[in-house]
Structure 1
Amino acid sequence: MEELLQAQLDAQRAGEAYAVVTIAEASGSVPRKNGKMLVFFDGRTLGTVGGGPAEQMAKRDALAAIDAGENRFLHYNFPSPDGASCSSRLSLLVEVFQPKPLLVVFGGGHVGTSLLRLAKPTGFRALLFDDRTEEQIPEAVSLADRFVRVENVERDILNTSIPTGAFFVLCGHDHAVDGEALAAALQKSPRYIGMLASRRKILSLFAMLKERGVTQKELDFVHTPIGLDLGGETPQELAVGILAQILLVKNGKDSRVRL
């Protein structure tokens, strides 16, 4: 039990979705009358509700519940192996735990810091990447739930645990570094990527990425110009426009609207 609790805490800290599957009722010749199993978003499991085909079905249905983001009550009937009329029954409660959405900010400059300041009040956890030290960008680091200093940008982002469906904002300070960050972000199954850059810079970066094999379809996924055009030019106003666009994506609205 202690191992299961620790695994849940670890998943919550990592921002990973998971389900707790608990035997609610069991009758007949089921392997277990009580038990609990964790099913993680990537298919990993811990604990057991009896093993065998029933557990495989429970895992499958728990993953479906995670994808749907809803709790479920599952019922399974198994015929008696000797052909008797009395079958075995198993009822399972599936409780889904979805983390807050993750905002990934690359670049702790003025716009990045302003965006991080808005993350928590709007329900996001925030992960900050930057190639500078904590001492160089103390305010941005203090606003993030987690800070990762990168040396090899693409490698370090790829090696960081980031759940599927994260929201990426790339607002770095170096042309080449931003390209590496974008290449990594495209491989992280994001729900949103936005990039703060001039048209000239974007065209140059996209040409470089195409040479590396990135498809036009992947590049079309990137929001640039980034954010809703609210008419402002300050970092704070730009951050509000960026977050507004992210919220449109999160809530299933048209994020390509430019006001």
Structure 2
Amino acid sequence: MSRRLQEYMLASAKNGREVVRTGPFTVTITGHDPNVYLNYAVPDPGADPSAADIEALVTAFTTRGRTPRLEYLPKLAPAVEPALLAAGFAVADRLPLMECGPSDATDQPVPPGFELVTPKTDAEIEAMLAAQHEAFGEEPPTPAHVAATRAKAESGQLQLLARELATGETAGGGIAAAVRDGISEVAGIAVRPAYERRGLGAALTLHLTRAAFAAGATLAFLTPAGDAQERVYARVGYRRADAVLFLSHSA
């Protein structure tokens, strides 16, 4: 299952990005956004990189104005972490990977006074992105972000925004990546600070998870950013199954 998940994560990372092969690494670059979460490499299963491989990996990022970074399931390539740490990389994070099957999903009601809708227009897509960027402390979305997000929706990505009924204000948003090999990743679950602690995060997660199952997924997964998020996802029916390692270099 770990190999299947890693293959899915790599296929999703390649979608809409420049893809560069260097040594035992696949580097994915988002041209319109230097955000580290949208630019990273994945090692091959069983990779055992040499010093030259690591130097070429760093160069693939720096020549494109990006921070060298990796996201992967470490147990599939145990030799990568010590080799990269010795070469100046550092562990940026090590997060649990949680899974949910169709029979595991647990009802989470949409809080009173809110609705969950699929963004259809560019204005709605921008509103969803603005809520996500605000929640994650990022700069406001640009037209390039909107265009890229619209293209992903056309390629099967599931998108959802939470909106306050009384004011029409967007309260949050999230996505479920296009289903591949029966798998979908739920990600970008965000609630604007003014609307936190009302159950919107759980409702967004549940509805996106069930939408992924309706689109053909037999397994959904996500990576919580911390204990609080993990508790929310556990209420929806997710359980720990693996771990994701994030390595970065300050070059």
Q: Which has the larger radius of gyration?
A: 1
TM-score normalised over the length of structure 2 = 0.29
Q: Which of 1 and 2 has higher RCO (CA within 8 Å, sep 6+)?
A: 2
